[in-house]
Structure 1
Amino acid sequence: MALLVSFHGGNRVIAWVLLLLLSVVCVQAGNSAGSNRVNRYRVEQPERLYGVQGGSIEIPFSFYFPGELEQIPPMSILWRWKQSYGELIYNSSSGFIHEHFKDRLILNWTQPQTSGVLRILDLKEQDQTVYFCQVRLNTSKGLQKFHSNKGTHLTITQVVRTTTKSPSMVSSVATTASLENSEGQRNPSFVNIVATVGVIVATAVLITPICVLMIFLWWKQRPAD
């Protein structure tokens, strides 16, 4: 109305045009605000995490919903893997846990918290995939479901195990090696002893017949009584 008063005659048309433009801008702003309210239903979680096979990993998450909700509605947290609407692996309401993750999933979250952590224990090679957090709100306007668009891609690495020998094993190996070396390369003093004994035995074998022959000749030549 202030614009209509300030303009006279033909300028009144310009005032009407300005009012129409102003109303259009207000409507667009209202629509934009409404869309922003809708977009406030969202879940955030890290895009990528790394774990070690046999270890554990924690996937943090947080979610947001419109602030105009007068009371915090009943909530439930669901987790899916491989796809955003893929196979269900956890349900906080029913306590359901996928058979593959039996005794390996722990959800650190309690209502009315809007953030928490999903912990996976005893990581396996098959656990390497994408995990999606889904939130369900039972509002007065009905059930609201929303989830993370990208999810969290979990990469599992394997541990390279190195075996170390105990001192007793090392001692045993060393003793065995020493015995093998002694068999392959005999002690020189031992060889000398064997050679000496061999010479003595050979000498005795040669001398014994001569001694017997001399005794026999002596016995033949002795005078008869």
Structure 2
Amino acid sequence: MAQLVSLPGGILDMACVLLLLLPAACLQAGNTAGSYRERPYGFDQPTHVSGVQGGSIEIPFTFYFPWKLAKNPQMRIFWRWKQYHGEFIYDSSSGFIHKHFKDRIFLNWTQPQTSGVLTILDLKEEDQAVYFCRVFMNVEKEDKKPEIFQSIKGTHLTITQEEHIPAVSTTMQSPSIITSAVTTAGLEDTEGQRNPSLVNMGAIVGVVVATAVLITPVYVMLIFLWWKTRPAD
């Protein structure tokens, strides 16, 4: 006979409480796992997607059901927007496309696939809304009525504005560089060269002095000749 392990009273009480809570915890975990698909049919879509104005987005979808498809299922995929009973924007069988999405919406899906992707191009600000996928199909059952069901929560699309970064010319210098260059040039002028204004002034003075030196003898000669030729008193 196996020997029983003696436990202190406090630990034994705690073990009893844990054993009592264990079935409830297991039951709760089972309910959580089973609540992922509360109904035997439905859609799986992302709850939210975002795109940049002028860009594109993709909304993947998957649907599930318990029935067996008929020999001719005639599956059709529809898309609605804005609200659960909103306008239809796409019909896979007729090729209908809402005028707002003309040449901008495409469906990547082929019958009898149960998953696909909706693509919207050239996003506009007005595209921001909720999008709902809907399926129509013939299945094998006694009443032979087609099954039609739709995503309940849909996918919320958010459009953001494109950020424009101003172009910077590669030939433009920053003010600090230009100031530095001017300052450096000024230092070089004062250290290695004379100031242009001083140079000009010196040149002018030189010309005046040279002119005076050349003209003075001429004036002296003219004065001397005038004095020699003047009539005697």
The two structures have a TM-score, normalised by structure 2, of: 0.63
| 1:192 Cα deviation from its structure 2 partner | 2.8
Q: Residues of 1 paired with 2:110 and 2:127: CA distance?
A: 25
**Could you say if the C-alpha distance between residues 47 and 220 of structure 1 is closer, same or farther in structure 2, counting changes exceeding 3 Å?**
same
Structure 2 counterpart SS, 1:118:
strand
With over 3 angstroms needed to count, the CA separation of the structure-2 counterparts of 1:67 and 1:144, relative to structure 1, is closer
Q: Does 1:195 align with 2:232?
A: no
Structure 2 residues not aligned, in runs of 5+: 1-38
Q: Deviations over 1:48-69 (max 9, x none)?
A: 1122233321111111233255
Is structure 2 residue 97 aligned with structure 1 residue 97?
A: yes
**Corresponding residue for 1:4?**
none
Structure-to-structure mapping, 1:1-225, within 5 angstroms: 39-71=39-71, 73-138=73-138, 141-167=144-170, 169-170=171-172, 181=182, 187=189, 189=194, 190-203=196-209, 213-222=219-228
CA distance in 1, matches of 2:84, 2:182: 67
Q: In the superposition, relative to structure 1, how do residues 125 and 208 fare at CA in structure 2: closer, same or farther (>3 Å)?
A: farther
For residue 149 of structure 2, give the secondary structure of its aligned residue in structure 1. Answer: strand
Structure 1 unmatched ranges of 5 or more:
1-38
| TM-score scaled by length of structure 1 | 0.65
Q: In structure 2, what residue type is equivalent to 1:132?
A: F
Instruction: Tell me by how many angstroms 1:89 deviates.
Output: 1.6
1:108 CA displacement: 0.7
SS for the counterpart of 1:222 is helix
Residue identity opposite 1:170 in structure 2: M
In 2, the alpha carbon distance for the partners of 1:163 and 1:75 equals 50
For residues 178-222 of structure 1, the C-alpha deviation after alignment (integer angstroms, 9 at most, x for no partner) is 8x959xx69553233212123234546766775564243122023
2:69–2:138 contact (8 Å) kept in structure 1: no
- Greater shift, 104-113 or 158-167, is seen at 158-167
CA separation in 2, counterparts of 1:128 and 1:147? 20
- Identical-pair percentage: 48
Q: Secondary structure, in 3 states, of the residue corresponding to 2:197?
A: helix
Amino acid at match of 2:197: V
